[in-house]
Structure 1
Amino acid sequence: MRYLIVLILAFFVFSCNQNSVSDSSVYFGGQIVNPRTNFVLFLKDEQILDTLILDKSNRFLTKYENLDEGLYTFKHGLEFQYIYLEPADSLLVRLNSWDFDESIVYSGVGSAKNEFLLNLFLQNEEEEKEIFSYFKLDENQFQHKIDSLKNVKETIYENFKINEIEISEGFQHLTNVAINYPLYRLKEIYPYYYKKAYRLASFPVLSEQFYDYRKSIDLNNDHLLFFYPYQNYVVNFLYNQSYVEKEKDSTKNDITTNVLNAIVKNVSSEEIKNTLLKRIVVNDFLKSKTTCAIDTTKIEIFLKNCSNQEYIDQVQNLVSDSKYVENNKLLPDFEVVSYNNDSVKNINNIIKNKKTVIYFWSTEYMSSEYLVSRVQFLQKKYPKVHFIGVQMQPAYIDIKTDYKLKKLDSSQQFKLLATSYANNFLTSRYPRLIITNSNGLVMNGFTYLDAKNLEKELNKLQIN
């Protein structure tokens, strides 16, 4: 049945153009079952190249002239997947947004290589479920496990090559990264988790051959920066270097500072260096034990070495936002609009005489699954605390039309007016939490759903 549906879709797409596909033209189209929105985004390196509107049958089709060979991304709703396109490809995709990756079916010219990439992605997802059991193995056992995983992936690749007449050099290079870099990442994090599993005082002593693969690693490949297996490996390599630095010198005990310095030392590509510096400093800021405290040393390293002005502005806005709402003072009043647009309310009237967590959220920075599960968990664990959601999405999402977000209580969901005072402390657009006591005093003016001390603070709030 699914095969028949794909054939019908293929007929629809190709019947839209009776001319044969030229050598340089690329067609990309498909169908979305249970669409979240009425469009699909087509991106390159996180930059939107095109917005593809769904028709009344939830189909889309586009033609690109002289599209460069390489890795692209299509995104629908909050989910995305990679595709590799070459001149003369005519790629069709069909998926159900309720089960995004697992439901994807490709057809047309170029489908085989993209189905192969998807299978590798799903294989990596399955491996992630088992990885923590590997870290109790000794070096030889662990290496044997890595070799076994690699053999499985290479077998998939060999089966793919049997039916492919010609495989481009670019795709071969991407395949090498897709197969090996997730495994290299496991080797980078192995010492840390082995030490943790056995509660050792230091990292295990490893053979000289353990990291031989590093000789072939390029930390400065701009073309792969936004390919998750590549960036994830690079970050974990840098963290491994940082933990080793800490073990060699006890004065270098701040891992984030070590990572920032490791980026400066090991990465020469401006684009990769800027991206990683911002990623590390923002993550540290949002998830620090001291709940979004400002560490001037880390900020200074970032500002000194980042050459991307947009990233600099984002981090400086984040720092400024964190200072705007002061602890142990009354929350500055601001207006919000009820979910149904039926009233404008002042936040201080909503939280009056209530112990409250106000969470400003945006699915640009966290998945809807995580947002819903985390909020529901906290609500259940802290029933005496009032949780209020304020949507700060650039493009407003109607939560009742999203099958995940609709689990949120719409009566406790609000959105901001463009003129709301709250916009003064949301300039970075990063999600944040504000915690107030029943007197309206700010207990924490800037924290985050992932902050390490959040539950400790909520425990204190609930019992006082």
Structure 2
Amino acid sequence: MKNIFPLFLFTVFLLSACNRSNSYGDKIYIGGQIVNPHTHYVVLAQNEKVLDTLFLNQKNQFGAQLEDLTEGVYSLNHNPESQTMYVEPGDSVLVWLNTLQFDKSMNFSGRGSEKSSFLLEMLLNNQENNELILSYYKFNPEKFSRITDSIREQRIESLGNLNDEQKFSQKFLDIAHTVIDYEYYDLRERYTFLIEKYNSQFADEIPEDFYNYRNEIDFSNESLQEYKVYTNFIENYLRSKSIENCNTDEDLDRSCFELGSYQNIRRRIILVDSLTTLPYMKNKFLDRLVTRGIVMAKNQDRVDSILEVLENINYSNIGQAEDLAIIQKSYFEGSSIRKGKMINTSKEQVTYGDIISKPSVIFIWSLYAPSHYKWQHNNIKALRRKYPEVDFIGVNIDQGETENWLRVVSSNNYNKDYEYQITNREISKEVFRKYIHKIFFVNSEAVIIDGDAKLYSPNFETELLEFLNR
């Protein structure tokens, strides 16, 4: 069992929690400890509805006896991350995690914890499949089918052995088998996307019954709508369906396969709108696609086209999309950002025109994405050494949280000469956070030359060199 040693650090707390719950067979106890917490509380929710807020004590421990909870899947949220639990009356589930490795460090213990542990293990398997599929798609469909059929059988056997020990409820067994199915479906969708895009000679070898499982898909499974294995499958299904005709339509070029293209994003927006009846699920996927479609738009026509699609499907968050469109209008290639206002680490107001005097790379970050901003800054640190002719400027978008921003900058020893925070902006922080993956190449006149670069792209340095050589 992984990461079990840290649980001994608060054994007394856990044992007392279990003992308190012994006399409440119809209630549920949830408690635990968080190492390196982001906030001073955790939130228990189900299907977007907040059920309770559990506050951390001085030892970063939390716990509560909860009434009126029915058996099922719940989410335990510790902003900005969350994880799924499965509980039923009589359970006393204890959680330990370190936010530096949120999913991988998480450990469930206590009465009834095996159900949550199974769902977590399936999620980690699903994440590991990200690497495996890069080998699997090089196999022909027959070999790929044999391998994935074997994986599914192993999962079912493992669940059966666990059930022999734990005697799970039929409701949990039904959900567990459904989760195994969706992991299997997800592998097939990922394989489909990769061979269509990179290994199309195998596409013609796919047997007619390869996609029979699509007849069994429930795109409106309310119990699983917050569970990442299920939502990962739907995301990969949308991707594979969006390129389904790319190799058969002679009028389409290679851009048909580009997930960031307007045409592809439009296809997925229309598809997800037609697939699910669950408002939470639909908006979660639409929000993601709309953000990408607008944030990556290169001109006003593209932005207007996305907004038109949203109006046609009666998108519920159209106001936020319009706010995002307002921001994007300022960041098209060729736009000047000279007058954009910020504060420096001395809390003095400055503009981009004040601080930009040579080719610059501007990266956006938020306090509420700690793993992301640490990764960003580590990469930027290496790039600064390699490209001294470029200024790498970090812009924090958490307007109004100046003290927290300065604390993070200082505690991580970030170069204060290149760290700024936006100010005097009327657009909400939630909208600005859509930009944390954006990189802007800006010339010495504070004009955007490229607003479509991605730090995580393997071609990033090639794009940077092209920018410098213009």
Deviation of 1:283 (Å) = 2.2
Amino acid at match of 1:337: I
1:301 equivalent in alignment to 2:302: no
Q: SS of the residue aligned with 1:43?
A: strand
TM score, norm. by length of structure 1: 0.84
Q: Give the whole-Å Cα distance in 2 for the aligned partners of 1:450 and 1:126.
A: 19
Q: C-alpha distance in 2, partners of 1:262/1:224?
A: 20
Other structure's SS at 2:393 match: strand
Deviations 1:235-260 (A, max 9, x none): 22232222223344344643333323
Mapped to 1, the partners of 2:125 and 2:447 lie a distance apart of 50
User: Residue in 2 aligned with 1:361?
Assistant: 365
**d(CA) in 2 for partners of 1:292 and 1:148?**
50
Task: Kindly state the Cα deviation for residue 176 of structure 1 after the two structures are TM-superposed.
Answer: 2.3
Q: Which has the higher helix share?
A: 2
Give the letter aligned to residue 349 of structure 2: K
In 2: Cα distance, 1:112 partner to 1:3 partner:
16
Question: For residue 385 of structure 1, what is the aligned residue in structure 2?
Answer: 390
Residue 416 (structure 1) aligns with: 422
Gaps of 5+ in 2: 257-262
CA contact (8 A) 1:220 1:267 kept: yes
Does residue 13 in structure 1 map to residue 14 in structure 2?
no
Aligned to 2:287: 278
Worse-superposed segment, 224-233 or 345-354 = 345-354
Letter in 1 for 2:240: N
Specify whether residues 426 and 8 from structure 1 end up closer, same or farther in structure 2 by C-alpha distance, changes over 3 A only. Answer: closer
Alpha-carbon distance in 2 for matches of 1:352, 1:258: 39
In structure 1, the gaps of 5 or more residues are: none
Residue by residue, what CA displacement relative to the aligned partner does 1:109-146 show, whole Å, maximum 9, x if unpaired? 22111122222222233333222111111111101110
What is the letter of the counterpart of residue 242 of structure 2? S
**Which residue number corresponds to residue 183 of structure 1?**
184
Q: Deviations over 1:324-363 (max 9, x none)?
A: 3565454243443334xx3313023652423223333225
Question: Mapping of 1:21-420 within 5 angstroms?
Answer: 21-23=24-26, 25-46=27-48, 48-76=50-78, 78-169=80-171, 171-198=172-199, 200=201, 203-251=203-251, 253=256, 254-287=263-296, 290=298, 294-308=302-316, 311-325=317-331, 327-328=333-334, 330-339=336-345, 342-348=346-352, 350-362=354-366, 364=368, 367-376=372-381, 378-379=383-384, 382-393=387-398, 396=401, 398=404, 406=412, 408-417=414-423, 420=424
My pick for the range that moved more, 99-108 or 404-413, is: 404-413
Amino acid at match of 1:306: N
Corresponding letter in the other structure for 1:301: V
Change (3 A) 1:18 1:49: closer
Cα 1:448–1:166 change in 2 (3 A) is closer
TM-score by length of 2: 0.83
Give the deviation of 1:8 after TM superposition. 2.6
Identity %: 26
Report the aligned-residue RMSD: 3.5
Higher relative contact order (CA 8 A, sep 6+): 1
SS of match in other structure, 2:161: helix
Secondary structure, counterpart of 1:346 in structure 2: strand
Q: 1: CA distance between counterparts of 2:300 and 2:332?
A: 13
Secondary structure of 2:209's counterpart equals: coil
